[in-house]
Amino acid sequence: MRSIPIPKPLAWQAARPCLAQYSRVVTPTILLYDNPVVSGGFLYKLPGETYYSPNCRRLNVELPPNVESSNDGIIKGRDFEIEHVRKPQWWTTAHGYLAFLPLRPDLSSPPLHPLLRIPKVLFDPRTGQFYPDPAVWESWKELQAKIAHAIHLLIYRSGAPAVRPAYPCSRVDRKMYKGPGGKHNLKEDMFDALSWFSVWFACLAYAIAVSDAMDRATKKAGYRTVPAWMEILASEYISKVGGEPTPEQKKKEELDGRFVSSLPSSCLASFDGTFERIGSFVNIPDDDMPVQHGMVSIDWLCKLKVPVWYRWGPREIAIAEKNPFWKRYAPPKDAEVVACPSRTQETVSPITSEPPVPPHPPKELFKPFRRRTEPVDKPWEAWFKERELRNALIIPKQSQAARSRRLTWEHNPPTNPKKTKFFVWYKDEDGVFRRRKAGEDDLEDLFQPEGAFSRSQARYDAVSNEWDLCEFFGPADDARLQHLAELDAEYHGTTLEQELEVWKIHYGIIPEPDNIPTAATAQPFAPEPVGQPALEDDPMDIETRPIEDTQGFPVVPSPQITEPDGNAIDILPEQPSFVANGFFGYASFVPKVLGLGKTYSTGDALWSTATGQQLLSFFHALVKGKPASDLWDLSRYNRTPVTSLPRFKQLRTSLAQCLVQEVDWDNAKGRIIRTVQKPLPTFWFAADHGQGWRLGCLSPVTALAISRWDNGMNPIAIAFPLSLA
């Protein structure tokens, strides 16, 4: 009787919640997660039945199809079709890992940063084949090998069912790309492979969660240490699990310290709710039926911040009557009804007592319909005039062959980079336009809808046989506008005509509308307030009845981030911290273990995060006046000078090559994030505790914070909480 499929004798500790759930004798004292389901939660009306989720409010939830066999699943026969697995499915033994699939994986930090680079499509004239850039493609395959190897090690140790989704890079490796459509097909398959990595992220997250369930004890000498799954991945014995690998395989599959230490802060091993996951539907087992092997603990999923939904109707109420343990899973009276805008709502029987509460409509996106800002200074105009004057002196002196060649080029300008030259006018960091030689990225798909420049944005000179490219030479052509509108319509979920109109306004092809709709002028639909029932003192003492009347539960709109005038804006998480640092000298808090102190109540999603709470704490301290001089770390009046601490005396600094993200903005391509290596000042501690490595960081604030920690903490006890920051 177990929900987390792991072998004995290690199964007892992890399977305790399941043993309590699936037995007739209820013994709450042996529950690993013995806290009742929190009050609140969310109710869903799906095809005539009520489903409850204690931890997820999602507007687009749909009831998955029934699973006839525990070995069946949505992924069967649908490799690389990511859209089918981005919806919660019924939990099965073979495909339970899909519940851990991250909705929006963060690829900007190690170990997933290789996926930020998309391989360029190259062409081999000898074989006539298109192929991805080997350097970038090998980094994808190396990450794939490491993830697969880590999954194999953890699954092997825990005894959980093997996971067998298709390897992402096999989508490209097993094909040959030739002919006119080869380049396009290769690009599509590479993006399919990139999306399919999310399935393997889910596999590794599932393997880590199962392994962590087996080893709950993560304290040593009073400090938090590396969990057992990290020790498994970093252990030398891992090479003996599947036999001694060849040197080439070992290089790809080697789980280096950087890969392992980066996992806790990524979507692969972070279960604190930072990364929203797909979640799963589960069935409450019938107390009169044999315990099924494929069951999973609801408490386990909630503990890991994995969304979970389960049906609560007459069948579940009858089970709770027989076994009072299940009463704790009954939806509380203060649960919120989530109105899912789907066709399934039409099948729900109407409420006879009072009219039903209308569903809250999805948020309408308002974007400014503005023409792009034209540059005031256009240096190319003066440059072209000077070239015309030079050409006027050159043309009369041309030979017959040169004149014939020039006339041919004027009639049919060459576009092959080997037969002509290309230059791009770009805006430099100082805001001045300069002329540079075009690179490979500029010339990719040139004059095609997918390219960066259209024919209308190019100027050709037949005398010097060179092209000048600039987005401000004119608007994009119709094919390019159509392509941009199709991409935005698919991304925003709007119509092609709407996006095409926006792009035409952007380029000044059609005038701006007189009345620009904004979130302030548009009146959103507001449902009539409904009464909320009083909460019971005892969460176990609730009325277990079928929930049919949705009037007893409030429908609350989603929280929004708005400006004071009501206009909806997009705020990046790092922007408030950046402004606070630039104007007030704010330094971000270091690890989660430091705590946040006082919690500031706010209904804004941005300021409810850990970073937002720390910023509010910082601003509240500022309004009380200038901090006392004895609180500054480097002040000579400090009550405990950091310079007198033993660990500070071990602090060293040096330049080291580090991965840095560069953020740039391009009017055509949008926000561009590049990961490059740059020499940066690093701070590290010279103490050697026999671990074979040194503790270091990039921030002087972090270095000072580490210096103040208990000197008895070893580097491992410090490094693990820092990796979660």
Q: What is the pLDDT of residues 386-421, one digit of tens each?
A: 999 999 999 999 999 999 999 999 999 999 988 999
Q: What is the pLDDT of residue 559?
A: 39
Do residues 80 and 95 share a domain?
A: yes
DSSP state of 230: H
Contact 309, 56 (CB under 8 A): yes
Q: What is the pLDDT of residue 519?
A: 36
* pTM flag (> 0.85): no
Rg (CA), the chain: 31
Do residues 114 and 239 share a domain?
A: yes
Q: What is the pLDDT of residue 395?
A: 92
| In-domain check, residue 229 | yes
Contact 229, 174 (CB under 8 A): no
Do residues 494 and 392 share a domain?
A: yes
Do residues 120 and 266 share a domain?
A: yes
| In-domain check, residue 526 | no
Do residues 261 and 159 share a domain?
A: yes
| In-domain check, residue 312 | yes
Contact 32, 26 (CB under 8 A): no
Q: What angle do CA 40, 46, 48 make, to 5 degrees?
A: 115
Phi and psi at 384, nearest 5°, equal -65, -35
Q: What is the pLDDT of residue 642?
A: 76
Listed as own residue / partner, the contacts of 301-304 with beta carbons closer than 8 Å and 24 or more positions apart are 301/99, 302/33, 302/37, 302/54, 302/55, 303/33, 303/271, 304/100, 304/209, 304/271
DSSP 69-93: STT--TTTT-TT-GGGTSS-EE--T
Do residues 326 and 436 share a domain?
A: no
| In-domain check, residue 568 | no
| In-domain check, residue 24 | yes
Q: What is the pLDDT of residue 463?
A: 92
Do residues 112 and 244 share a domain?
A: yes
Q: What is the pLDDT of residue 555?
A: 38
Phi and psi at 275, nearest 5°, equal -110, 115
Domain ranges, residue 512:
367-516
Structure token digits, residue 265:
């802060």
Contact 684, 695 (CB under 8 A): yes
Least Cα distance to 82 among 182, 175, 171 occurs for 171
Q: What is the pLDDT of residue 721?
A: 66
Q: What is the pLDDT of residue 545?
A: 40
Q: What is the pLDDT of residue 69?
A: 67
| In-domain check, residue 522 | no
Query: Cis ω on the peptide bond leading into residue 111 (within 30° of 0)?
Result: yes
Do residues 115 and 258 share a domain?
A: yes
State how far the Cα of 298 lies from the Cα of 366, in Å rounded to an integer: 39
Do residues 437 and 496 share a domain?
A: yes
State how far the Cα of 295 lies from the Cα of 73, in Å rounded to an integer: 15
Q: What is the pLDDT of residue 466?
A: 94
Q: What is the pLDDT of residue 585?
A: 63
Do residues 264 and 145 share a domain?
A: yes
Q: What is the pLDDT of residue 25?
A: 28
| In-domain check, residue 563 | no
83 class by beta-carbon count within 10 Å (0-12 exposed, 13-18 middle, 19+ buried): exposed
Do residues 62 and 141 share a domain?
A: no
Do residues 454 and 322 share a domain?
A: no
| In-domain check, residue 536 | no
Strands 308-311 and 280-282: parallel
Positive or negative torsion for Cα 708, 710, 714, 716: negative
**Domains of the chain: total:** 5
Sites in the chain below the pLDDT cut of 70: 1-39, 69-78, 214-228, 234-254, 257-258, 287-294, 340-370, 429-430, 490-493, 513-575, 577-579, 581-606, 610, 624-640, 665-671, 688-692, 721-725
**Would you put residue 25 in left (φ > 0), alpha (ψ -120 to 50) or beta?**
beta
